[in-house]
Amino acid sequence: MPALPTPQKDKDMLRFLTCGSVDDGKSTLIGRLLYDCDQVSDDALDLLKRESKKIGRAGDTLDYSLLVDGLMAEREQGITIDVAYRYFSTPARKFIVADTPGHEQYTRNMATGASTSDLAVLLVDARAGLLTQTRRHASIVALMGISQLVLAVNKMDLVDFEEAAFRAIERDFAAFADKLGGVEVTAIPVSARGGDNIATSSASMPWYKGPCLLSHLETVQINESCAAAPLRLPIQLAIRPGENFRGYGGMLASGTLAPGDAVRAVPSGQVSHIARLVGSDEDLQMAQAGESVTVTLADEIDLGRGDVLCAADDPLEVSDQMAAHILWMHEKPLLPGRKLEIRLGAQSANVTISALKYIVSYDSLEHLSGRTLGFNDTGFCNISIDRPLVFDAFKNNRTLGSFILVDKMSNETVGAGMIAYGLRRADNVHWQALDVDKRTRAGMKGQKPCVLWFTGLSGSGKSTIANRLEKLLMEKGAHTYLLDGDNVRHGLNRDLGFTDADRVENIRRVGETARLMVDAGLIVLVSFISPFRAERQMARALVDDDEFLEIFVDTPLAVCEARDTKGLYKKARAGEIKNFTGIDSAYEEPQNADIRVQTETASAQDLAQDIFEILQNKGYL
């Protein structure tokens, strides 16, 4: 008597993604899987009937991507830009498959699909062999912690099902995969269009003795390390509906949880026990990784969004400096020193890339030196955060070991990161409390310290106005210091050039110097082109809200170029100076400057006097 099928609720779930280069057949393969598993909706079959006269499982004229009901988010010119998920099942297992685009510009979508997958099906066109995008996707799969990889060598029908073509690709990829470390590869020759080795073994390739794709997906062992790992419950919501109930909701990132378990709140370190474990409808006796729960505690502990409940004897790390792999997802390069927003679980903070240690070559996996990360590059970096965050190493916990990076100006997601480890020096360096503080120093000088940040094009008149203003301030007994762009590059920043990355570092150093001078109680005048809004915002964020005044010296490019007192514009136009602001490097005008002056309509002395009076009226003097 044949065995009865496993009840649906008792089947385990395999999450996998399909990836690879453009036109390798990812959507066709998924369509064939769904079709052969009888998971195709009536709507999809009706569409297929309208599009093709021939219906049949082995038909060689069918485009099986038409069977993927609701799977693809098509755009003009046939480019898929979204990650589309599809559920299906067999008698042995349930599946969620992510169809990710192969185009280079949508590698971010592939990384999104990989972040929640247990296995990756990497497609390769049998005619083309391994491409850069193939290696890129394989590297990202390994980086995302996926240890099971199927190399599906597709379109074998277009190379006459020759074993030699398959074996050559299999060997090439095996040599590459050895360098990835910890990735188990199963190579399967397939023809998604014809169904060869998809759900059943292919008669056209008798030389292949391994499993078909579906059989492998049904039997591959799923990594269940999350369930066996220590308890990690990130708090997403504090629930306080009444005096008799105070709960904390979130999804278990790893481990199991039951009433009576001893837990430790991080970062506070307070210890308590689980009083109740509440599911969607009723109290639970146990919850495991992947389940959303609400817990109540035996003790009054002040928990909030971003805190984490851990096993009492195995707490998480807390640090403001970490080492991480970063996949850069934006067309504008990552510039170390530029301030971004980090979102790690339910936590968020400001972050800068303090050091780019190396860039990973997708072709050779060698570590290359570099100053910036370009679009789709992966690099190993040190990151510095403006407050300590709770985290785990990515290899131990995907949820608490991964983060995204968000551009603070545009709110776009620009990067994804996987934490390798916390930097120990972060635990050994502490802010030293001093008896003499900024208020004391400023009080002795009889002034309110601040940064007067002059920005504008070269030749706009920034330095002239700042110089005149400092003289006026000195005449009134103010304690000042002027940081001028050219002068600082003779010393503090003499090692920097004029690339975008160097400009960011230039302003970062000057901003930190200005902050120290404000702490000393000084009025600091900063005269720098400072072309990027992000860096000016970074400098503003280093001091208190009322300690920074952005002064936009709004002089048109044509006027600045006509002045050309240093002859720099002439050289830039002749190509003798590269990365010159206003010519071949952008200047981002302030959107909401605190003070705006125009040198076309007033003299530098008059403008300095105007600014001086503003400072008096605002109580800085």
322-323-325-329 Cα dihedral, nearest 10 degrees: 50
Helix (H, G, I), strand (E, B) or coil at 217: helix
Q: Which of 461, 485, 481 is nearest to 601 (CA)?
A: 461
Q: Which of 105, 141, 145 is nearest to 122 (CA)?
A: 141
Instruction: State how far the Cα of 247 lies from the Cα of 249, in Å rounded to an integer.
Output: 7
Q: Rounded to a whole number, what is the largest CA-CA distance in the chain?
A: 103
User: Between vectors from CA 583 to CA 581 and to CA 586, what angle results, nearest 5°?
Assistant: 50
User: Between vectors from CA 126 to CA 122 and to CA 130, what angle results, nearest 5°?
Assistant: 55
- Tokens coding 401: 């070991």
Instruction: State how far the Cα of 418 lies from the Cα of 324, in Å rounded to an integer.
Output: 5
Q: Which of 17, 16, 27, 15 is nearest to 154 (CA)?
A: 27
Active-site pick, 117, 215, 272, 530: 530
Instruction: State how far the Cα of 63 lies from the Cα of 47, in Å rounded to an integer.
Output: 11
- List of residues 6+ apart from 383 with CB closer than 8 A: 321, 322, 323, 324, 326, 342, 351, 352, 353, 354, 417
Q: Provide the residue type at 492 as one letter.
A: L
- List of residues 6+ apart from 553 with CB closer than 8 A: 454, 455, 456, 460, 461, 462, 465, 597, 599
What are the residues facing 411 on neighbouring strands?
Answer: none
Q: Provide the residue type at 512 as one letter.
A: E
Q: Active site includes 254? A: no
Instruction: State how far the Cα of 93 lies from the Cα of 10, in Å rounded to an integer.
Output: 9
Q: Which of 487, 543, 488 is nearest to 512 (CA)?
A: 543
Backbone phi and psi for residue 607, each to the nearest 5 degrees, phi listed first: -65, -40
Active-site amino acid positions: 530
